[in-house]
Amino acid sequence: MKLALTINGREEEIEILAPDPACRFRIDGGDERAADVAVLQNGVFSVLLDGASYDAYIEETPAGALVVVIDGYRFEIEVRDPRRWSRKSSGRGGDTVQSIVSPMPGKVVRVLVATGDAVEAGQGIVVVEAMKMQNELKAARAGTVLTIAAKEGATVAAGELLATIA
């Protein structure tokens, strides 16, 4: 899957050849690279790339972009799928990544999809239980699951990232 990225205002293209945990990718048509990715907790990932280990802290901005902090460096990233047309993209194609976040504190009782799965609009992604009520969080649009940060049995806070869909 190819995605268009804007990283701190600079345009890049990434081709994801294999999703996490044993991620393989190409950036701007270059050589194939590999990284091992592990979810430490919601919004925190451990990445092993070229023999070096990095902790990546991810948060979503109100505008829908992602902010990734690695070793004190802050990267604002907008991710677009060039196959998807969007009115707000001004005709250049693409759409941002949809983040599925917990609407309230609770416990993840079921993860209904896996990384790389194709999903339809309205399809269940994760079930969070709060105050003895189960809430199925659904995809707002069709796409492909990029990441699953939610783990069954894990306690989550309101606003924690559970999954991303492109």
Find out if CATH 2.40.50.100 is the number for domain 98-165. Answer: yes
Q: What mean pLDDT is predicted for residues 8-30?
A: 86
Q: For position 107, what pLDDT does the model report?
A: 93
C-alpha closest to that of 56 among 64, 47, 48, 14: 47
Measured distance CA(117)–CA(134) in Å, rounded: 23
Gyration radius of the chain over CA positions: 16
**Tell me: the pLDDT tens digits for 36-76?**
988 888 788 899 999 999 999 988 766 667 888 998 888 88
Query: Would you say the CATH fold of 98-165 matches that of 2-89?
Result: no
What are the boundaries of each domain within the chain? 2-89, 98-165
CATH class of 2-89: alpha beta
Q: Is the pTM of this model over 0.85?
A: no
Residue 111 vs residues 107, 136, 151: alpha-carbon distances, Å: 11, 10, 7
Give the pair of three-digit tokens for residue 153.
Answer: 């049995």
Cβ contacts of residue 10 below 8 Å, gap of 6+? Answer: none
Measured distance CA(32)–CA(23) in Å, rounded: 10
**Tell me: the pLDDT tens digits for 118-154?**
999 889 999 999 888 898 999 888 889 988 988 999 9
Q: For position 95, what pLDDT does the model report?
A: 52
Q: What mean pLDDT is predicted for residues 91-111?
A: 76
Percentage of the chain modeled with pLDDT above 70: 88
